[in-house]
A and B are shown apart, each in its own frame.
Chain A
Amino acid sequence: MHTWLVGICDRLQNVRVVVWLVTAQYAYPFIQWIHFTGLSLWLGTTLALDFRLLGPGKRFQTAAELSDALFSWNWLGLCIAVLGGFTLFATAAVGYIDNPAFRLKLGVLLPLALAWHIFVQRKSRTWGRAPETPTVAKLAGLTEIVLWVSVATAAVWIPNY
């Protein structure tokens, strides 16, 4: 299984465009840029809903209204982030699959956070009807913030291995 995976990663890493991205001067930051721009849209809108569920500050919209207004931007952001993230992975795929921080991020934390996000987004329609959200909604929002911070923490730690 592992040899097979390494084989795929090795081929991915040697695709001509990928090799060019790694060797061309100033090109690599552009891939990071796609990843971070997507993440800004994805996490900016995701955290906005989580904070609304938590409920501090003035309330201009219910959580349900906010979720509805942000929905398209939210998922567009994830698509951009995944596009950039996959390309970043491709540039050094063989090294990444054996990196403990990367494995923790992609194998455990990201799927967990993503599943939790879908749950919170769906539930916010019922939790978010009234200006004041129920306690369970606040806990769910807080949990999602913690999950995404843990995903990013694992990502930031990748270069330390």
Chain B
Amino acid sequence: MMSRLCEWLEQVPWIVTITNSAVLISLVWLAHYFGFFLLVGTTAVVDLRVLGAAPRNQKLAPLAGQLFPLAWTGLGLVIASGFIMFAGQATTFYPTAVFRIKMGMVLLAIVFGVIVQRKLPAWDRAPSVPAAAKWLALASLVLWIGAILAGLEVPAFIPV
């Protein structure tokens, strides 16, 4: 079922056009890069602040409020461009273990990101950040950075 879907995806005309054009596929890569720069960069700063790494005694909620919209914009870019990158080589990517691990990490990181965003105002009001919040922030940080590594390792692990 899934392999059929992957075969079909690879043949979709506009995906074939983009995949076979050096200029168009480079633009898609560029969107993917900028998407995760925005997503991971801003999320990492919030996570590090929850973990207690702060240059000065500043309130966390205003900074997070400023950064979250950029993180979600980045996520949108990453998903749209990532889908095109996947679709062009769907039958190659789908069975690759590292690719599946990456997708798992991304999904889990998104869930953790939503929890951090929802709980953050309460954590910020508390006299000290709860231990559970720190574990959540650490997990989010490790998952996003790990997802970048997993993504870069995908070409090395594609079964021949």
Whether a CB of chain A sits under 8 angstroms from the CB of B107 is: no
Whether a CB of chain A sits under 8 angstroms from the CB of B143 is: no
Q: How far is the CA of A152 from the CA of B40 in the complex (A)?
A: 17
Whether a CB of chain A sits under 8 angstroms from the CB of B123 is: no
- Docked-complex contact A156 and B30, CB < 8 angstroms: yes
Q: Which of B49-86 contact A (CB under 8 A)?
A: 55-56, 58, 61-63, 65-67, 69-70, 74
Q: Which of B22, B30, B55, B145 contacts A153 (CB 8 A)?
A: B30
Q: Number of contacting residues on B, CB 8 A?
A: 35
Of chain A, the residue at the smallest CB distance from B145 is A37
Q: What is the interface of chain A mostly: helix, strand, loop, or mixed?
A: helix
The stretch from B10-18, B111-119, B125-133, B147-155 touching chain A is B147-155
- Docked-complex contact B30 and A152, CB < 8 angstroms: yes
How many A-B contacts are there with CB distance less than 8 Å? 108
Of chain B, the residue at the smallest CB distance from A57 is B69
Q: Binary interface profile of A, 50-69, with partner B (CB < 8 Å = 1, else 0)?
A: 01100001111100011011
Of chain B, the residue at the smallest CB distance from A157 is B26
A42-B41, A44-B40, A44-B44 in contact; A60/B63 too (CB < 8 A)? yes
B112 to chain A, nearest CB (A): 17
- Docked-complex contact B149 and A30, CB < 8 angstroms: yes
Whether a CB of chain B sits under 8 angstroms from the CB of A29 is: yes
Besides A29-B156, A30-B149, A61-B62, 17 other CB < 8 A contacts? A25-B156, A26-B153, A26-B156, A33-B152, A40-B36, A40-B41, A43-B37, A44-B39, A44-B42, A45-B41, A47-B70, A48-B67, A58-B69, A59-B66, A69-B55, A73-B44, A156-B26
List 17 A-B residue pairs with CB atoms under 8 Å apart, sorted by A's residue number: A29-B153, A40-B44, A40-B148, A43-B37, A43-B38, A44-B37, A44-B40, A45-B45, A48-B66, A48-B67, A48-B70, A58-B69, A60-B65, A61-B63, A77-B41, A149-B34, A156-B26
